[in-house]
A and B are shown apart, each in its own frame.
Chain A
Amino acid sequence: MNTKQRKLIYRILPYVILAFIGICFLLPLLWVLVASVDPNAMQSLKMPKQLTAGNYADVLTSSENQRSFVIGLLMSLGQAVIVVLLAVLAAYPLSRYQLKFKKPFMLTILFMTSLPITAVMVPVYQLFLSLKLYDNNVGVVLFYVASSMPYGIWMIKNFMDSVPEDLEEAAWVDGASVITGIRKIIAPLMVPGICTVAIFTFSGSWGNFFVPYILLQTPEKFPASLKLYQFFGQYGMVDYGRLAAFSVLYAIPSIMLYILSQRFMSKGFSMQGGTKG
């Protein structure tokens, strides 16, 4: 093998390996997409003989499914809003004050960010029984909020640190209160950060299965994630087409939010030049 041939192989090989990896990642995904429009969907990937929107129609017209989607949306939205509000409040003194306990507090927060939630579910279940919060969607949201607070505070505080204080001071001179300063000056400047945290919190809760699985019992209260599991747990995965259609519909919010978050993150802090010149 001469040098020219070797060079050619070196050039092509990465493309071959990447293409192979790409196909491996694509195949399972392709199945769910194709099966969702195939009236005779099977377990394996195959070309559908005809296309149908019937699976989607079936899933969408079922009032049970509609309810699970609405419940999921409300729970995830509620959680995202509460987390952002509380995290902005908490991050403010942490970002603007010199507090004695700040460093240990932030380290505790970071530590809590990384603990596996799975490990506390048994005591949380017991706690929910004694607080009469078991099988209560609001209770699930409260637990979600608590478990995403560490991440929320950590991120929001970092974002807030890079908002210049000068603008805020100017507002105070004009007679604004601290809360007005946060609402009218800091929050608008932190939109990318706030959106990042909100989106992350929303998709975390939307995609979560274990927490509602433990804390909810009545099928009427199930969010979409549980409904989907119920679907393929109980019916022995017979109706692949509808199952796939439900999965695609359920995955759409996560995918859209991810695309949205990319836009926010790439925008970055274009407003930071506000105090320059």
Chain B
Amino acid sequence: MGGVPISTPYWRRKNITWIYFLLPSIAIMLLFFIYPILLTFFYSFTNLALTGEAAKELQFVGLDNYTRMFQDPTVRVSIWNTLVFLIGSAVIGQQVLGFLIALLMKHKNKTFRRIIGTVVLAGWVTPEIVCALCLYSFFGDEGTLNAIITSLGISPVTWLYTVPMLTVILANIWHGTAFSMLVFQAALDDVPSEIEEAAVVDGASKLQILFRITIPYIKETITTNMMLVTLQTLGVFGLIYAMTGGGPGTATMTLPIFMYNQAFVNYQLGYGTAISLLLLLLGIVLSLFYIRSLKE
């Protein structure tokens, strides 16, 4: 199967073996990326474990991991938490806040825009673990937030214990909003100002312009951004793990944390893999949806 060059007859004469160009990257992706994905399917039907009997002999256990998964109340909690985290931090938080910042920044003082933009971007550029540390101490019992509300005469709150999910959601918003902000800034700049001006002449209110003209105009960007942000958030581990460790109890236990606990704390690799598969399937469904929305 020889490649036919696009434009020049040079290729036919030289007869380049294009496959050698692709081989190294395909090989490395096959071994370290695609093969592990296939292994996920395989291991999830086994009793793979790091300790005990199962560590010595790998056995097929059929659907055991899955029946266990569907009976495990922590799985239900984790799925629920993952959804809350996804919707709260990615769909609503980063998207809406990013859009709001981009919208409010339009036609504003340049220096002011730059200052706000830089502060928001700083959270994005900062590595995940540093974000976790910053937000942990912000919400900590003796942290900045409590210092502020105490000085206002309100008694301090143990944020990480009373509203742990809210704190990790806010942390992820802090870390990720800049991406949506940048995307929406670019998109809003592309909306032709003539259309909006014409609507103003016709007597449309600001809200009407926003919902009838601006948002429909950048609809595609919104869908694409939503998918990207959701997929990024689905795999978030370090931020939650370092801030709350999935607790207290199971309050911030999302699927990645639960998977980690089962596989590496309880040494149940097979069961952990079954949970990975759940996460992977969620990712696959979302990715396919994303690719479809891109193609349209």
Contact B133 A86 (CB under 8 A): no
| A28 in the interface (beta carbon within 8 A) | yes
Contact B3 A99 (CB under 8 A): yes
Q: Which chain B residues in 132-152 approach chain A with CB under 8 Å?
A: 133-138, 140-144, 146-147
Main secondary structure of the interface of B (DSSP, over half): helix
* A to B CB contacts below 8 Å, 24 in the list: A22-B119, A25-B122, A28-B134, A29-B122, A93-B16, A98-B3, A114-B228, A116-B256, A116-B279, A118-B237, A119-B277, A119-B279, A121-B276, A123-B39, A125-B263, A125-B264, A126-B43, A143-B32, A147-B33, A169-B8, A172-B10, A209-B127, A225-B129, A258-B125
A220 to B140, CA, bound (A): 31
Rounded to whole Å, the gap between the CB of A195 and the closest CB of chain B is 16
Residues of B within 8 A of A235 (CB): none
Residues of B within 8 A of A149 (CB): 25, 28-29, 33
Contact B137 A44 (CB under 8 A): yes
- A44-B146, A97-B6 given as contacts; is B24 within 8 A of A251 (CB)? no
- Which of B70-78, B194-202, B213-221, B282-290 contacts its partner? B282-290
Residues of B within 8 A of A22 (CB): 115-116, 119-120
Q: Which chain B residues in 269-296 approach chain A with CB under 8 Å?
A: 269, 272-273, 276-277, 279-280, 283-284, 286-288, 290-291, 294
Point out which of A10, A114, A251 has the most chain B C-beta atoms below 10 A from its C-beta.
Answer: A114
Residues of B within 8 A of A17 (CB): 100, 104
| B40 in the interface (beta carbon within 8 A) | yes
Main secondary structure of the interface of A (DSSP, over half): helix
Chain B residue with the shortest CB-CB distance to A182 = B21
Contact A100 B33 (CB under 8 A): no
| B247 in the interface (beta carbon within 8 A) | no
Binding site for A on B (CB under 8 A): 1, 3-8, 10-11, 14, 16, 18-19, 21-22, 24-26, 28-29, 31-37, 39-40, 43, 48, 97, 100-101, 104-105, 108-109, 112, 115-116, 119-123, 125-130, 133-138, 140-144, 146-147, 174, 206, 227-228, 231, 234-238, 242, 256, 259, 263-264, 269, 272-273, 276-277, 279-280, 283-284, 286-288, 290-291, 294
